[in-house]
Structure 1
Amino acid sequence: MEMHDLCAIAAREPRCVLATAVKVEGHAYRKQGVSMLLTREGAMYGSISPGCLESDLQARMERVLDTGRLEFVEYDMRPEDDLSWGETIGCGGLIIVLLEPVCGELRSILSHMHTHFQSGSTVELTRSFYNQYTRIHYVIQLAEDAETQTSLYPSPVAKGASLGPINKMITVDIPRLSLVVIHPSEVDAVASSSGESELQRDGLTDPERWDVPLQISARYEPKPRLIIIGAGNDVIPVVRLGKSAGFRVVVADWRETLCTAERFPGVELVRGFPCEIMPVLDIQSRDYIVLMSHQFPREREFLELLEDRNYAYLGIMGSRTRTARLLNELPPLKHLHSPVGLTIGADGPEEIAVSIAAELIACKRAAAAAERRNVQRGIAHATDGHLSSSR
């Protein structure tokens, strides 16, 4: 589950805790920077492990909510002879998890993040701890040039350092942490820049071993949009799998009896003919588009309007012969995949939906990797049996 989703869930959950993996070493199920939400009612959204840590985190959630204190928790599964976690741990790494009560300032921060996500913006969230971790700064800023992958990295505070352009900055007083985690090499710099007296360095064996910095930043991408043109029955499983794969799904169709909330619950719906929906969709460079209306004239009209647009992916349902006719006399379209979906011998709507979802995931991951390396690369594993960037 993406941070985009967690921010939306936090807005409707009155009592919840945000758990974030702020440090990961060795083999782990999820990467550093991943978060999940725990509620007082026992619901868990997202995951940090395959299920081996969540019950322990849930047990700590009550104390975090009752005291209003942040808490750092260490899970060290590296010793081979340590069987205390049972046979289901499946990791063997070190994970440091930060638990934060979602209230007041943090709730406001998550709300602002969700607004940015909805507008398609990348967001960077920075947490800075001061005064023996009794004060915390939350900073969010747009990070349009950030890496596309969610990442968490240390950014130590230095004398006279600026936190950069800030869209929103909140400082909140919190009670002393149950675990004081201070990076000794950064103590003097933080004390100087914050105007506080020198912090105590006694009893820092565990924090030194954890090496958790005093300032951590995480970059989060908005969920990419999956725009499906068509609202037939075969679109339903594609929508379901698209949502599960981390896409923000939009279904567009001119047939009002098909394009309904009853058929597509929890999905954005846009009704109208291609010339009417194009201004509403406002297609952007990170959008994924799939044509599944099976209506030749309408799809042709949509493709003509798509000529000068930038997007990440264009998949067309149908045979190569049909697609060739559809594209006849049109300029070459970018990022074209036809027939849509990976070649897995799919038969029937459900299996075809699996092939489409698999190709979408492959293209999304490859695009993220290419952006990180700032190199344009093809997606060989995602275009097997398909035409790409050509008719």
Structure 2
Amino acid sequence: MEAYDILQAVESNAQARVLATVIHVEGHAYRKQGAVMLLMADESSLGSISPGCLEADLSAYLPAVWESQKPQMVEYDMRPADDFGWGETIGCGGLIRILLEPVAGELLVNLLVVKASLDRGEAVQLLRIFSDGYSNITYTLCDPNDDVSTDRHSVYTSLFTPKPRVIVFGTNPDAIPLAQMAVSVGFRVVVADWREAFCNAERFPESETVVAFPEQLVEQLKLNAQDYVIVMSHQFEKDAAFVRGVMESSLHYLGIMGSRDRTEKMLEGLERPDWLHYPVGLNIGSEGPVENAVSIVAELIRIKRGVRTTGEWGSSAAMGRDIQSCRPW
């Protein structure tokens, strides 16, 4: 689970009690330093820091941490040479230190400020400055570019970056599985269209929706260099107007659904930046809305992870042809 989802739960759920953060790892671990999990008052949890071997034990600390309103450090040494009781049979095998903090007071205030910053598209660092071991923590927020000169042994820094935003232009039925999959793999999804009857929370319950004509959408969306945009309304004039508008911005990714000939016609007179991809999606021979959604989301993940392939404009689920759910052009 993304840190943003944890922050969202902190903001909206009064059951949130204890934040668990992996602050040190030696050797092999299922999750790396910085992984977070939220323990709830009803004994449920959000997120994970192990393949299931530590969560139940951590939950046992919840009452004491919450009642004392004091942070606590928990250490699990699962290196086989030191502890055969844990060992690698549980899929871990390393040393993990986990900071447990009551979600209240100064921490709660700072987490809400972090959430607001991410909603504005701004990255932020949360500094924990320790004293008296780990029993007292002072919290400070700063810009990610700030030089943190505090003694590294008494401070832990968490960097929070905005959840990558995927904007889907077009609300035909093939947009529904695409939006669902993009949300499920950790993107913040905005679905945009000029038709309110198709662009609403009922059809896209886990996504944000924006209703406006292409020319107004570009201004309303406030595009930035971290955005992923997918154009798939299947109406040439609307797609073309939206593409021309968004290409005035610098994006992280722009994918256009449809045949190469259709898109070339749409792009006449425009430059071709390296973040432009068409036809959209990885070439997996996909057919139909669900398979096409798989190919598109796979390409989004590839770009997000920084994995490059040759011929970006041609690395498509529909190389040289229309994707099945598109109209022929």
Deviation for aligned residue 1:29? 1.5
Q: Which runs of 5+ in 1 are unaligned?
A: 147-154, 159-185, 187-212, 367-377
Q: In 2, Cα distance between the equivalents of 1:381 and 1:106?
A: 46
TM-score by length of 2: 0.89
* Aligned twin of 2:104: 103
In the alignment, is residue 290 of structure 1 matched against residue 254 of structure 2?
Answer: no
Compared with structure 1, are the counterparts of its residues 126 and 52 closer, same or farther at alpha carbon in structure 2 (3 Å cutoff)? same
Contact 1:363 1:382 in 2 (8 A): no
Instruction: Report the secondary structure of 2:180's partner residue.
Output: helix
Amino acid corresponding to residue 343 of structure 1 in structure 2: N
User: What is the match of residue 3 of structure 1?
Assistant: 3
SS of 2:4's equivalent in the other structure is helix
Deviations 1:107-163 (A, max 9, x none): 1111000000001111101100124444321011122689xxxxxxxx7745xxxxx
Give the aligned partner of residue 314 of structure 1. 254
Contact 1:24 1:32 survives alignment (8 Å): yes
> Residues of 1 paired with 2:198 and 2:266: CA distance?
23
Q: Percent identity?
A: 46
1:12-161 equivalence runs, <5 A: 12-15=12-15, 16-79=17-80, 82-85=83-86, 89-143=90-144, 157-158=150-151
Task: Please say if 1:235 is aligned against 2:175.
Answer: yes
User: Which letter does structure 1 place at the counterpart of 2:279?
Assistant: P
1:303 and 2:218 correspond: no
Q: 1:271 and 1:75, CA in 2 relative to 1: closer, same or farther beyond 3 A?
A: same
Post-superposition shift, 1:214?
1.8
> Match of 1:380?
309
What's the C-alpha RMSD, in Å, of the aligned pairs? 2.2
1:101 CA drift (Å): 0.6
Per-residue deviation at 1:73?
1.0
Question: Number of residue pairs matched?
Answer: 315
- TM-score, with structure 1 as normaliser: 0.76
Partner of 2:283: 343
* Deviations, residues 64-89 of structure 1 (Å, cap 9, x unaligned): 11222211111111115844237762
Q: Could you give the per-residue CA deviations for residues 38-95 of structure 1, whole angstroms, max 9, x where no partner exists?
A: 1011221111111111111112112211222211111111115844237762121111
Structure 2 CA distance, aligned partners of 1:114 and 1:5?
10
Cα deviation code 1:177-227 (max 9, x no counterpart): xxxxxxxxx8xxxxxxxxxxxxxxxxxxxxxxxxxx321111121101100
Tell me how far apart the structure 1 counterparts of residues 129 and 93 of structure 2 sit (CA, whole Å): 29
Pairing 1:224–2:164 present: yes
Q: Residues 3 and 226 of structure 1: is their aligned pair in 2 closer, same or farther, counting only changes over 3 Å?
A: same
> How big is each residue's C-alpha offset from its partner over 1:215-251, in whole Å with a ceiling of 9 and x where there is no partner?
1111121101100101111111111111122211100
State the one-letter code of the partner of 2:205.
P
Segments of 4+ moved more than 2 angstroms? 12-15, 80-88, 131-135, 155-158, 328-334, 381-387
- From the superposition, tell whether residues 327 and 157 of structure 1 become closer, same or farther in structure 2 (CA, over 3 Å): closer
The 3 A distance-change label for structure 1 pair 133 and 24 is closer
Conserved in 2, the CA contact under 8 Å of 1:342 and 1:382? no
- Per the alignment, in what secondary structure is the counterpart of residue 283 of structure 1? coil
Aligned to 1:275: 215
Partner amino acid, structure 1, of 2:242: F
Name the CA distance, whole Å, in 1 between partners of 2:60 and 2:31.
21
The 3-state SS of whatever aligns with 1:380 is coil
